[in-house]
Chain A
Amino acid sequence: MKDYQAVIVKNEKIAENIHEVTFELNETPKVRCGQFGNIAVGGTHLLRRPIAICKTEGNLVTFCYQLKGEGTRKLKDMGAGTRLNVLLPLGNGFYVEETEKKVALVGGGVGVFPLISVLREYGTKKEISAYIGYRNQGAVCGVEEFKKASKFIGVTDDGSYGEKMNAVQAFAADLEKGNRPDVVLACGPTPMLRALKTLVEKENLPCYVSLEERMGCGIGACLVCVCDMTNGAKARVCKDGPVFDVKDVVL
């Protein structure tokens, strides 16, 4: 990890409440899919914004973020040329074993963006099926990327885009047809991950989930962003995660 003086080269709206920002760094960072960066928006905001890295290309790093509070609204108004400190890469990231040939991506909400990084890292090496859920047509984004997967099933809560169902239901329906992956990688709202945990446990499928939590330092020192482990311990989402074996975490 390094604290880069990053320069914004592009910052624009890509869907309802979702913006995409691309930074240029002074070198090519070593980033693994599923890792995140901690962006200092400055001013009276003392905490950085931990956001999943969506893609990297040479010295360029792209993040997609949801407008949630003052910090992200401030970020959205920053134009090209703005300099910000971005600490990256942070966290463990997703990892697909050699023996795992078929990968299922299950994502919802802002959880779709770390999955784009998986697709970009493993897209040519693995057979990837993406099951992506959005709230409605207006929230649909990243489709250009997901269409590069071997299979892309996009659905919405209200049926305004794709079928009316959630990402876990879309994945379950495909499973029933006999399309069984070797591993499942997921990111999304906790209720979605909870439903997925139940499903993969019943189906006895290996599954890794990326979690989200309010963070302090972002590097594992302050113990602010913890999650409960099934063994009764606490893990740091920023340092021990954000990706965990779904068997190990209480959702």
Chain B
Amino acid sequence: MANLSVNLCGVTLKNPVIAASGTYGFGREFHELYDIGQIGGVSTKGMTLEPRLGNPVPRIAESRGVILNAVGLQNPGVEHFIECDLEWLKSTGTCVIANVAGKTLEDYEKICARLNGLVDMIELNISCPNVKSGGMAFGIKPETVEEVTRVAKKGAKDTPLIVKLSPNVESIANNALAAERGGADCVSLINTLTGMAIDIERRKPIIANNTGGVSGAGVKPIAVRMVYEASQAVKIPVIGMGGITCAEDAIEFLMAGATAVQVGTANFTDPYAMPKIIKGLDEWCDKHNVKNVSELTGTLVLNQR
């Protein structure tokens, strides 16, 4: 039994495996299949100050090795979460990460202030590619990444703030640095890559929103490279995600520089993906004589060219 616990900006997670926002709701449905208290953390469905109905359907499509989605931030609003889900989610024993989005800088500050002190961590969604007012406007340029982070941190003054970075940018390293300058306690990446899938019989995109966020096994090499670049650039911890399906995938991200990982699309393919990844991490560490999983972070050695 290896020690799987990790310290993420002062918060101890029992293991480095976190459910990625949008694939896991608030945890209740997966709790019908297994005890979600064994998961390192749950990043909730992205929330806004007011409830949102999201995009029209179809909201999902598939391409080999990946999926595309455009749910469009459908959520019951932050007050509903606080009233109906927060205490229950905490009681499971998992680390509660509130994923939040907004239309304006003021929205980000308000929602962070509302959740400050109530949850273990706040994850800022400044990179939802599927709604015009989902924060994507903030997530592209380093200047706006820094600005929205600074404003959000004013709200989240006592709660560690994770800034979730978009891969649809010029330089992931520069945007990670911008988040760090703005006061982020941690960055997570990658959010989905913008893509399109076409129904050739109808000559129309399958997804009603036309474009959707691409995720799943196929995006993993891109994500690993970006996690490496971001973690080289910043001193704050990095949460890696993008196509993680098994323990070996998670270890790649840890070696590339991540302190913890998130698992999203794999939950759809196999609802038990996360418990299996946690078990696999433990087995891999034992086999490789790794006492603490945290020892793996950033141990990648590049080939000499």
Residues of B within 8 A of A239 (CB): 29
CB distance from A30 to the nearest CB of B (A): 14
User: Are A224 and B25 in contact, with the CB atoms below 8 A?
Assistant: no
Closest to B272 in A: A3
Contacts of A222 in B (CB 8 A): 22-25, 69, 71, 268
Closest Cβ of chain A to B49, distance in Å, is 18
Q: Taking the nearest CB of chain B, how far is it from the CB of A127, in angstroms?
A: 36
Please tell me if the beta carbons of B269 and A46 are within 8 angstroms of each other in the complex.
Answer: yes
- Cβ contact within 8 Å between B29 and A220: yes
With A219-B271, A223-B54 known as contacts, the answer to whether A46 contacts B67 (CB < 8 A) is: yes
Instruction: Tell me the nearest residue of chain B to A225, going by C-beta.
Output: B57
Residues of B within 8 A of A (CB): 22-25, 28-30, 32-33, 45, 53-54, 57-62, 64-67, 69, 71, 74, 216-218, 265-272
- A71 vs B218: C-alpha distance when bound (angstroms): 17
Q: Which of A21-75 touch B at CB < 8 Å?
A: 40, 44-48, 71
In angstroms, Cα B107 to Cα A52, docked, is: 42
| Contact status B69-A224, CB under 8 Å | yes
B210 CB, nearest partner CB in chain A, Å: 15
Task: Tell yes or no: A143 within 8 A of B by CB.
Answer: no
Interface string of A74-99 (1 = CB under 8 A from B): 00000000000101000000000000
CB distance from B62 to the nearest CB of A (A): 5
Question: In terms of DSSP, what is the predominant structure of the interface of chain B?
Answer: loop
Q: How far is the CB of A45 from chain B (nearest CB, A)?
A: 7
* Total CB contacts across the A-B interface at under 8 A: 100
Give chain A interface residues in 174-226, CB to chain B under 8 Å: 213-226
- Does B30 contact A214, Cβ atoms closer than 8 Å? no
Count of A interface residues, CB-CB < 8 Å = 29
A53 to chain B, nearest CB (A): 18
- B143 CB → nearest A CB, Å: 32
The reply to whether B54 and A46 form a contact with Cβ atoms under 8 Å apart is: no
Within 8 A of B (CB), among A211-251: 213-227, 233-234, 239
Q: Is A173 an interface residue (CB 8 A)?
A: no
Q: Are A217 and B59 in contact (CB under 8 A)?
A: no
**B33 touching A46, Cβ below 8 Å:** no
Interchain CB contact under 8 A, A224 and B60? yes
Residues of B within 8 A of A213 (CB): 57-58
B244 nearest CB across to chain A (Å): 12
Check: A1 CB closer than 8 A to any chain B CB. Answer: yes
Whole-angstrom CA separation of A213 from B266 in the bound complex:
20
Do A3 and B33 touch across chains, with their CB atoms under 8 A apart? Answer: yes
Contact B65 A46 (CB under 8 A): yes
On whether the beta carbons of A47 and B67 are closer than 8 Å, the reply is yes
Please indicate the chain A residues that have their CB under 8 angstroms from the CB of B217 in the complex: 44, 46
Residue in contact with A234 in the complex, picked from B45, B53, B67, B218, CB distance below 8 Å: B53
Residues of B within 8 A of A217 (CB): 23, 29, 267-268, 271
State the Cβ distance, A250 to closest chain B Cβ, in Å: 12
Q: List 5 A-B contacts (CB under 8 A).
A: A1-B32, A219-B271, A222-B71, A223-B25, A223-B45
Residues in A whose Cβ lies below 8 Å from that of B25: 220-223
Report B50 CB to chain A, min CB distance, Å.
14
The answer for the CA separation of A222 and B23 in the assembled complex, in Å, is 5
Determine the distance from Cα of A226 to Cα of B217 in the docked complex, in whole angstroms.
25
B269 and A40: CB pair below 8 A?
yes
Contacts of A226 in B (CB 8 A): 54, 57, 59, 74
Contacts of B53 in A (CB 8 A): 233-234
Docked complex Cα distance between A223 and B21 (Å): 12
The smallest C-beta distance from B159 to any residue of chain A, in angstroms, reads 24
Q: Which residues of B contact A40 (CB under 8 A)?
A: 269-270
**Hey, which chain B residues are within 8 Å of A45, CB to CB?**
62, 64
A42 smallest CB distance to B (angstroms): 9
Residue of A nearest to B266 (CB): A46
- Beyond the given pairs A47-B60, A48-B268, 13 more chain A to chain B contacts, judged by CB atoms under 8 angstroms and listed by A's residue number, are A3-B270, A46-B62, A46-B66, A46-B268, A46-B269, A213-B58, A216-B59, A217-B23, A219-B33, A221-B25, A222-B71, A224-B57, A226-B74
Shortest CB–CB separation between residue A4 and chain B, in angstroms?
12
